[in-house]
């Protein structure tokens, strides 16, 4: 016997409002992206491999994603949000791989 109901979109109707976007977006697992060879349902590429980007292009791409973040989170379809989350993770992971000793601003640190 189920104790909670499920909405038509597959999310629990009495679900916690504390769910992360990754938990709310059914596509987050990325299996459909891996199966399609990095292409969306129309066969279009979902972005240049971050390892192929120059440092300037990598920064430009991250700026673009961060500039559109709130609008995507609030208003985009689940599939667009999933793509946005995936692409942000790819680009930021590549940035951190290139800059493991990045300079940390002391004013951004909190007392332990």
Closest CA to 79 of 35, 5, 10, 24: 24
pLDDT at 13 over 50: no
CA 91 to chain CA centroid, Å, is 10
Q: What is the pTM of this model?
A: 0.60
Place of tokens 């597959």: 10
pLDDT at 2: 47
Q: What is the pLDDT of residues 21-43, one digit of tens each?
A: 555 555 444 444 444 444 444 44
Q: Provide the 3-class DSSP secondary structure of residue 45.
A: strand
pLDDT at 18: 64
pLDDT at 19: 59
Q: What is the pLDDT of residues 90-101, one digit of tens each?
A: 999 999 999 999
Q: What are phi and psi of 74, to 5 degrees?
A: -85, -30
Q: End-to-end CA distance of the chain, in Å? A: 47
Q: What is the pLDDT of residues 53-92, one digit of tens each?
A: 999 999 999 999 999 999 999 999 999 999 999 999 999 9
Sign for the CA dihedral angle at 103, 68, 86, 35 comes to negative
């Amino acid at each position: 016997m189920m104790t909670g109901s499920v909405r038509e979109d597959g999310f629990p109707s009495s679900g916690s409002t504390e769910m992360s976007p990754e938990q709310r977006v059914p596509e987050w697992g990325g299996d459909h992206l891996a199966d399609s060879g990095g292409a969306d349902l129309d066969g279009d590429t979902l972005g240049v491999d971050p390892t192929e980007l120059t440092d300037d292009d990598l920064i430009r791409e991250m700026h673009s994603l961060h500039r559109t973040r709130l609008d995507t989170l609030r208003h985009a379809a689940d599939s667009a949000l999933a793509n946005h989350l995936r692409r942000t993770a790819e680009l930021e992971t590549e940035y951190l791989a290139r800059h493991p000793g990045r300079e940390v601003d002391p004013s951004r640190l909190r007392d332990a």
